[in-house]
Chain A
Amino acid sequence: MVLEVFRQSDRLQKVSDQITRMLNESRHVFDEAMSALLAGADPAALDDDIHGTDRRINALEQEIRRELVIHTSVRGTADITAVLILLMVGRKIERMGDNAKNIYDIAAQGIDLAEAPDHAELAGYRDEVSQAITRAGEVFNSGDVEAARTFAERMVQLQREFDQHVDTLIVSDAPSTHGVPRALLYRYLKRIVANLEGMASAVANPFDLIDYTPEGDEQGET
């Protein structure tokens, strides 16, 4: 609802397109990082691509900020809510890129889960989160409140699942080489998913309740 305003401006529509580009880049970093961790890809061979993509994400966020300052200077505060939302969303995506890079860092430390017993479950999460990154952009750009609510509900559910995995690992007797990489991975996945939920809440919630669940509780750490 609050996003309807910016559809009236070509320039803000352009920013919206840049948000989509940032999401595509973030998904790319995520997919590469997960392939290093779960599919046996050589982390060293991916290093340049991952860091280069991260730099492009950062540059896009900076570009969005510049565009929005210029937009507000020219237009005044008429669509300030849309501007603030776009700034917030840009930040969320940049963080997603960082979290994906953190996942890559686990693989770069020599951790390889390609043959792990829980590989199928992790691969399932990989596929769902990867698709959710693109879906978040579609939901955000469509402004479809119902779709945003449905999407946010699934993201909340995923966060609970990731928390449960971490809780289990905390009390597990498994060696640290088993528990630590997984705990970190679930933590980073939760952060990515929380940011995706935040994007959906920007569509479904009033501005002051963005990043809050309908009960008024703040989302998981982002």
Chain B
Amino acid sequence: MDRIGVLPRSVRGVLVLVLLYLFLTGIGLLEAGIKGLGSDVQERLFEQVANPLSGLFVGVLATVLVQSSSVTTSTIVGLVGAGLISVESAVPMVMGANIGTSVTNTLASVGSIRRPEEFRRAVAAATVHDFFNVLAVAVLLPLELATGVLARVGTAITDVLVGQAGTAFKSPVKEAVKAPVEAIEGLFGAGFGTGTAQGIVLIVLGLGLIFVGLTFITTTMKSLVADQLEESLNRVLQAGGGVVALGVGLVMTVAVQSSSITTSVMVPIAAAGILSLTNVYPVTLGANLGTTVTALIASLATNRPEALTVALVHTLFNAAGITIFYPLRPMRAIPLRLAEGLATICGSNRSLLAGYIFGAFVVLPLAVIAILS
């Protein structure tokens, strides 16, 4: 942030646009690469996530590895845009990405490990995000598998916006990134020929551009809006949480394109006792909703309406989760109490947090994926 922060604001503004273009080009390359894979390879890849639970934990693990749900969900949107996976298979993965992203702010709570009371507050503020995501998945994934309600609503909105699934709509963004995608395709086509080898190279390049693009968009945007972020957090402090806090979490996350930034910033503030867990919670929910914008942007770089549907399902899933676990006090109390409970346990034995992070975000997903495959 420091090096980018010294650039003039106008330069940083242009840099964000360039990085956004690179990010969208990455989605285009991913799509082109997957299309280049042989149908047998595509089928084998698809089998890995055909089971909803596998898909869910692949989403968790992938997000833990890249430390960004935006990267994972954008990649999933790209995979759907390429026709590799269906909307039904993508939905659990997107939900898994939501859970996986909460590992970042849980790691941030380790910073307070030397001061027991501060640590307890930090863990509670961090893991309320985890518990909300797990609870939302626990309620909405079975409902989705039974009824397909989120996918149906997402499809209905897509139909209104761009046309019916199965048809191709001409995305202007896709057209805008067509030239670099075709140029890179031609470049690597000459070196690797066509087919699977070229496809793999394009996928790697695409994933690289998505990751690098989003990482630097986040860093640059954070340097651009740092003062506004501080102002917003002070506003949350004055408002004492509630809808204002939810809105601040949403806006902050849309601005920096990373829910992890928003939720991780909250951890030291809560650890210091400046914001209570009750006030941190709505900011976290807003961040969850705000992060879905990235996948919506990514869906613009594909021509398949299904990609937009998946991005919309991501938004709908988070909106539904908030509707269930925020407005009513007894429901709101569930993630809060669970987070406080875990924080109390970790406060009495601080090494347990390492066990929780490693067990819940690495061992469990790997075990479930291994068993189901």
List chain A positions with a Cβ less than 8 A from chain B: 9-11, 66-67, 69-76, 78
Cβ-defined contact, B5 with A70, below 8 A? no
List chain B positions with a Cβ less than 8 A from chain A: 1-2, 5, 222, 226-227, 229-231, 233-234, 237, 265-269, 272, 274
* Interface pairs (5), CB distance under 8 Å: A11-B231, A70-B233, A70-B237, A74-B230, A75-B226
Complex: A69 Cα to B273 Cα, angstroms? 10
Complex: A9 Cα to B223 Cα, angstroms? 11
Complex: A76 Cα to B226 Cα, angstroms? 11
Among candidates A10, A73, A78, residue contacting B269 with C-beta atoms closer than 8 Å: A73
Cβ-defined contact, B268 with A73, below 8 A? yes
Cβ-defined contact, A78 with B5, below 8 A? yes
Of A66, A72, A73, A78, chain B has the most CB atoms within 10 Å of the CB of A73
The SS class assigned to the B binding surface is helix
Cβ-defined contact, B2 with A70, below 8 A? no
User: Given A69-B268, A70-B234, A70-B269: A76 and B1 within 8 A (CB)?
Assistant: yes
Cβ-defined contact, A66 with B237, below 8 A? yes
Cβ-defined contact, B269 with A71, below 8 A? no
> A95 CB to closest chain B CB, in angstroms?
22
Complex: A9 Cα to B225 Cα, angstroms? 11
User: Given A10-B227, A69-B274: A74 and B2 within 8 A (CB)?
Assistant: no
Complex: A121 Cα to B130 Cα, angstroms? 67
User: Given A9-B227, A11-B230, A11-B231: A73 and B237 within 8 A (CB)?
Assistant: no
Cβ-defined contact, A66 with B227, below 8 A? no
Cβ-defined contact, B226 with A74, below 8 A? yes
Of A66, A70, A71, chain B has the most CB atoms within 10 Å of the CB of A70
The 5 closest A-B pairs by CB, nearest first: A11-B230, A73-B268, A10-B227, A69-B272, A70-B233
Residue of A nearest to B269 (CB): A73
The SS class assigned to the A binding surface is helix
Among candidates B5, B233, B237, residue contacting A74 with C-beta atoms closer than 8 Å: B233
Cβ-defined contact, A70 with B1, below 8 A? no
> A115 CB to closest chain B CB, in angstroms?
50
Complex: A67 Cα to B235 Cα, angstroms? 11
> B232 CB to closest chain A CB, in angstroms?
9
User: Given A78-B1, A78-B5: A72 and B231 within 8 A (CB)?
Assistant: no
Beyond the given pairs A10-B227, A67-B234, A78-B1, 12 more chain A to chain B contacts, judged by CB atoms under 8 angstroms and listed by A's residue number, are A9-B227, A66-B237, A67-B230, A69-B268, A73-B233, A73-B265, A74-B222, A74-B229, A74-B265, A75-B230, A76-B1, A78-B5
Residue of B nearest to A79 (CB): B2
CB-defined contacts of A76 to chain B, threshold 8 Å? 1
CB-defined contacts of A69 to chain B, threshold 8 Å? 268-269, 272, 274
Complex: A71 Cα to B234 Cα, angstroms? 10
Residue of A nearest to B236 (CB): A70
CB-defined contacts of A71 to chain B, threshold 8 Å? 230
> B322 CB to closest chain A CB, in angstroms?
24
CB-defined contacts of A72 to chain B, threshold 8 Å? 268
CB-defined contacts of B269 to chain A, threshold 8 Å? 69-70, 73
CB-defined contacts of B268 to chain A, threshold 8 Å? 69, 72-73
CB-defined contacts of B222 to chain A, threshold 8 Å? 74
Residue of A nearest to B266 (CB): A73
User: Given A76-B1, A78-B1, A78-B2: A70 and B274 within 8 A (CB)?
Assistant: yes
Residue of B nearest to A69 (CB): B272
> A110 CB to closest chain B CB, in angstroms?
42
Cβ-defined contact, B229 with A66, below 8 A? no
User: Given A74-B233, A75-B226: A66 and B274 within 8 A (CB)?
Assistant: yes
Residue of A nearest to B270 (CB): A73
Residue of B nearest to A11 (CB): B230
> A146 CB to closest chain B CB, in angstroms?
28
> A74 CB to closest chain B CB, in angstroms?
5
> B198 CB to closest chain A CB, in angstroms?
41
Cβ-defined contact, A11 with B227, below 8 A? yes
